[in-house]
Chain A
């Protein structure tokens, strides 16, 4: 599976400057306060001095680690204060729910004329070697393609250390690919057994002289698309927002007018691009916005949006979040969705149109309506229990879905009780009751089942449950249901 045919040459081969120390320079206009990630980068640079062969590797490693630090920072943000709202800054999200590999995101970007490092994708070592040769680059970066982060520091069960490698020699690419493909890569973000690497990206390594941050997202407060950027790229954007909020720039985009020339140029200037680079960056910005609209993205985040010594503006890494609601018109993209690293229960639920999210607890939930489903998890917690999942059956609950949902919940070994909370409006409670009793009998339910039904035909439903012969605990309201579920576990 070689995607070389899909990759077009859009840029001249770049010469990589030797082992120059000052590979990353920040413009003097940047008021740097050097929070931790940045200090780390500087330290890495200084260590790289004199280590000619590996200097670029370390710098690129540091760059990718820094951008991963951004992702980590955003992911861990729940416990931290975010200062975005001080500037009325749009909220940036770190987690994608449509899983695209790095090369797939970069392919999408290339198709929109966005400048990324030239690359090929290979699923076997000879192809990787070929790709390395075809690149005809001064230096090559080989990256294992898995969804989880932390690749740089991961280890393969082949013994190879590191999921990202830099080399000037194509044959080394072939050798390394041999130790990556088909083997499991374990990183801090993968499960213990690691993730099997099926594809590798063979890309041209480029120097970065300057890193900026750029994102486009749909923002509720502005009723539409917004561009957010900072000349302080490659680091934790939250810290930038906190320490130097004047370095976060925002442009509201009119959905019908698109990005105006003056807006793109202003953002490029604010990001610190000067001279011919300003126009280049503005052009890249417009193309990123075109991509944003074309793929129905809710967010496109480029970090770093960088500058090379040869005067190119390059998107070194990007995260794209897609609007699930647009799946019907984005079939190609959604077909790329790689569920192999997802929670198998969540993949199974998606098959049956069930909105399911696994949580840590032992009381399974079965609810109609997202708000009520969240509230059910909340109330279990309020009464001292721990929800095992969020499950929204949606509006038109059918008997087949009831069955499949029960199957999913009962298959979870963590589950010690099940709480059913259905408020039937259009949904006839008697149908739900029938579905539940049938599922319980066929699946031989072994855990306590607490059922709270309300709404249309509730009396008939209650009768069905009480006459089923199954040990079902009936509850009157949500408080009662949660208390009973928690108590049922405590009894055991």
Chain B
């Protein structure tokens, strides 16, 4: 194998090392100007959630349903392909509500069309399919993928791409990143209740092979002046949380460090069992909650043992730092 290919392979293997794909991180920060199309637009899920998005105020400008191009659905045009939709609407983002057998191909279609942001909601995509998607994803820098098996991303009050309930959110100061959908809602609900609100909430999803990890989101949060505190919700399986801890040690320490509060689900999970999410499994002694909690604590993260205390813990951190 040639040296350059070996090097490229080495580079891609290292977490946290900049590669061309990391350049697409900035696409995570959606706002009121983000134009969204929906893949799987005319299906049941696509229709329902697109209407919800429109009601929330997201700029849904069109959708894709192969074979149904030319029609209008929910007041916006339907296209036969992502390429046509992007050309016809100038969309910056696509949300995918396509069933598992075809979702991998839908993501690849969006990458091929140069869509800056792709949010894949679908749960149940075969791991092999996602490995192929990721292979393509990592070797380009235009498209950023969030998910699959995720609730989506929301900038409260500006743009909602996904299935999260908009009404629990409140524009504010906390960036939230999570592998779990409903646990995210807990964090959102609590931060809304204590008055802090959210700047940007990203659900990276529960699959082992996905498009965006904690570090991608943490970098965005650390560089965003509107995000003053960060909540990170992890779970058993893999070592994304440990990698995040390393990243925080390096980039979020010292006097200007932003407060980070975390909860890790699965302390009571038995090893070797898949706990719902494809990625939530303690395998071969690795991926347990204890180790993740320890790693995060060593990075200065305040880890809450209760998922019901995320808002209150963050509030206390703000109080401590006189940020209220």
Interface string of A198-234 (1 = CB under 8 A from B): 0000000000000000000010111111000000000
Question: What residues of A have a CB within 8 angstroms of the CB of B278 in the complex?
Answer: 323-325
Cβ–Cβ contact A455 & B126, under 8 A: no
Q: Does B24 contact A (CB under 8 A)?
A: no
Q: Which of A46-54, A112-120, A254-262, A277-285 contacts B (4 or more CB under 8 A)?
A: A254-262
Instruction: Determine which of B236, B273, B282, B286 lies in contact with A97 in the assembled complex, contact meaning CB atoms within 8 Å.
Output: B273
Instruction: Determine which of A75, A225, A368, A390 lies in contact with B182 in the assembled complex, contact meaning CB atoms within 8 Å.
Output: A368
Question: What residues of B have a CB within 8 angstroms of the CB of A82 in the complex?
Answer: 284-286
Interface string of A70-106 (1 = CB under 8 A from B): 0000110110111011000001111101000000000
Question: What residues of B have a CB within 8 angstroms of the CB of A323 in the complex?
Answer: 126-128, 278
Q: Does B13 contact A (CB under 8 A)?
A: yes
Interface string of B17-37 (1 = CB under 8 A from A): 000000000000000000000
Instruction: Determine which of B48, B168, B179, B271 lies in contact with A77 in the assembled complex, contact meaning CB atoms within 8 Å.
Output: B271
Q: Which of B61-69, B214-222, B305-313, B316-324 contacts A (4 or more CB under 8 A)?
A: B305-313
Instruction: Determine which of A255, A367, A382 lies in contact with B131 in the assembled complex, contact meaning CB atoms within 8 Å.
Output: A255
Instruction: Determine which of B134, B168, B233, B281 lies in contact with A371 in the assembled complex, contact meaning CB atoms within 8 Å.
Output: B233
Cβ–Cβ contact B126 & A85, under 8 A: no
Cβ–Cβ contact B151 & A77, under 8 A: no
Instruction: Determine which of A256, A380, A425, A477 lies in contact with B151 in the assembled complex, contact meaning CB atoms within 8 Å.
Output: A425
Cβ–Cβ contact A423 & B185, under 8 A: yes
Q: Does B283 contact A (CB under 8 A)?
A: yes
Q: Closest residue to A361 on the B side, CB-wise?
A: B268
Interface size class of B (residues with CB under 8 A): 35 or more
Cβ–Cβ contact B131 & A223, under 8 A: yes
| CB proximity to A under 8 Å, residues B139-196 | 151, 163-165, 167-168, 178-186, 189
Question: What residues of B have a CB within 8 angstroms of the CB of A59 in the complex?
Answer: none
| CB proximity to A under 8 Å, residues B244-284 | 263, 265-284
Question: What residues of B have a CB within 8 angstroms of the CB of A367 in the complex?
Answer: 182
Interface string of B110-132 (1 = CB under 8 A from A): 00000000000001111110011
A326 to B128, CA, bound (A): 9
A204 to B279, CA, bound (A): 39
Q: Does B298 contact A (CB under 8 A)?
A: no
A260 to B276, CA, bound (A): 35
Q: Closest residue to A326 on the B side, CB-wise?
A: B126
Question: What residues of A have a CB within 8 angstroms of the CB of B131 in the complex?
Answer: 218, 223-225, 255
Cβ–Cβ contact B269 & A425, under 8 A: no
Cβ–Cβ contact B165 & A456, under 8 A: yes
A10 to B286, CA, bound (A): 39
Instruction: Determine which of B15, B236, B272 lies in contact with A93 in the assembled complex, contact meaning CB atoms within 8 Å.
Output: B272
Question: What residues of B have a CB within 8 angstroms of the CB of A464 in the complex?
Answer: none
Q: Does A247 contact B (CB under 8 A)?
A: no
Given contacts A255-B131, A426-B163, A478-B307, contact A373 B276 (CB under 8 A): yes
Q: Does B105 contact A (CB under 8 A)?
A: no
A1 to B126, CA, bound (A): 33
Interface size class of A (residues with CB under 8 A): 35 or more
Closest CB in chain A relative to B203 CB, distance in Å: 10
Interface string of B90-115 (1 = CB under 8 A from A): 00000000001100000000000000
Q: Does A9 contact B (CB under 8 A)?
A: no
Closest CB in chain B relative to A465 CB, distance in Å: 19
Interface string of B204-238 (1 = CB under 8 A from A): 00101100000000000000000000000101101
Given contacts A77-B284, A224-B131, A359-B270, contact A426 B180 (CB under 8 A): no
Q: Does A172 contact B (CB under 8 A)?
A: no
Q: Does B40 contact A (CB under 8 A)?
A: no
Q: Does B287 contact A (CB under 8 A)?
A: yes
Cβ–Cβ contact B135 & A223, under 8 A: yes
Q: Closest residue to A370 on the B side, CB-wise?
A: B276
A150 to B82, CA, bound (A): 55
Cβ–Cβ contact B286 & A85, under 8 A: yes
Cβ–Cβ contact A378 & B268, under 8 A: yes
Given contacts A296-B127, A374-B280, contact A324 B267 (CB under 8 A): no
A75 to B271, CA, bound (A): 8
Cβ–Cβ contact B307 & A375, under 8 A: yes
Q: Does A293 contact B (CB under 8 A)?
A: yes
Closest CB in chain A relative to B28 CB, distance in Å: 19
Cβ–Cβ contact B281 & A374, under 8 A: no
Given contacts A223-B135, A374-B265, A423-B186, contact A379 B308 (CB under 8 A): yes
Q: Does A110 contact B (CB under 8 A)?
A: no
Question: What residues of A have a CB within 8 angstroms of the CB of B179 in the complex?
Answer: 371
Question: What residues of A have a CB within 8 angstroms of the CB of B163 in the complex?
Answer: 395, 425-426
Question: What residues of B have a CB within 8 angstroms of the CB of A92 in the complex?
Answer: 283-284
Question: What residues of A have a CB within 8 angstroms of the CB of B287 in the complex?
Answer: 91
A380 to B306, CA, bound (A): 10
Q: Closest residue to B99 on the A side, CB-wise?
A: A328
What are 11 of the A-B contact pairs (CB < 8 Å)? A84-B285, A218-B209, A221-B239, A323-B128, A355-B275, A357-B273, A359-B270, A368-B182, A371-B178, A374-B236, A374-B275
Given A80-B285, A252-B13, A375-B307, 7 additional A-B pairs, CB 8 A: A77-B284, A91-B284, A221-B15, A224-B135, A255-B135, A323-B278, A370-B235
Q: Closest 10 interchain pairs by CB?
A: A371-B180, A370-B276, A369-B182, A95-B272, A77-B285, A93-B283, A82-B285, A372-B182, A371-B183, A374-B265
Chain A residues proximal to chain B, CB less than 8 Å: 74-75, 77-78, 80-82, 84-85, 91-95, 97, 218, 220-225, 238, 252, 254-256, 260, 262, 293, 296, 298, 323-326, 328-329, 355, 357, 359, 367-375, 377-382, 387, 390, 392, 395, 423-426, 454-456, 477-480
